[in-house]
Amino acid sequence: MTAEVHQHSDKAIIERSRRDPEAFAALYDRHAPAIHRYLARRLGRDLADDLLAETFLRAFRQRDRYNPERLNALPWLYGIATNLIGQHRRHEVRLWRAMARTGADPAAISADEGVADRVAAQGVRPDLARALSRLERGQRDVLLLTASGDLSPAEIGAALGVATGTVHSRLSRARTKMREALGGIDPLDIGEEQLDG
């Protein structure tokens, strides 16, 4: 793999990988850390390792169907990862419930990554986990993609295969439920200044 591949858009990497399968490794190098954080937050580190590999294996196998209008493959990869998470929904809900009981986050990566960690700094980790475990899957997917993925609503819609309006309505409902469960705190609005105080 050459440095030239790393400088290209994800679209160009995927196109090149059709002729040179090893070029696909550049896509992995570029996006694996973000996808792994997302998977670990949802399912824990152990399962995240396995599903990270599965996410990129599926992406590799489906690269001929990649939409060439998209320069950035991250929403596509989040969509594949989210579909895999859906197959482990019970595990995810158990993880959030365990966190609600114990207050310990088995998927914690670092204090500055992810909404759950920022909210935990406010001392509401068990309430956050409990509230997340009670959200409908679609609402949880949208909320956590918004929080963990730094994706726009349109990109989240593309990742999940739903309209942007559906993303907005799911996110609105999820945020309302989370604010109610967290005593008015919106985990997407927590700023750095609040973390220090």
Residue 65 to residue 40: CA distance in whole angstroms: 27
Residue 176 to residue 148: CA distance in whole angstroms: 18
Q: Is 186 left (phi over 0), alpha (psi -120 to 50) or beta?
A: beta
For residue 189, the model assigns a pLDDT of: 60
Classify residue 90 by burial, with Cβ atoms within 10 Å: 0-12, 13-18, 19+: exposed
Residues 136-146 have a mean pLDDT of: 90
120: pLDDT strictly greater than 60: no
Give the CB-side neighbour count of residue 139, counting CA atoms within 13 A: 16
88: pLDDT strictly greater than 60: yes
Question: In the structure, what pLDDT confidence band is assigned to residue 55 with cuts at 50, 70 and 90?
Answer: very high
Show the tokens assigned to 31: 């996006």
192: pLDDT strictly greater than 70: no
How long, in residues, is the chain?
197
**Terminal-residue alpha carbon distance, the chain:** 47
Sequence-ordered alpha helix ranges (H) in the chain: 3-6, 10-19, 25-43, 45-61, 74-86, 89-102, 115-120, 125-134, 137-149, 153-160, 164-181, 192-196
Question: In the structure, what pLDDT confidence band is assigned to residue 3 with cuts at 50, 70 and 90?
Answer: very low
For residue 25, the model assigns a pLDDT of: 96
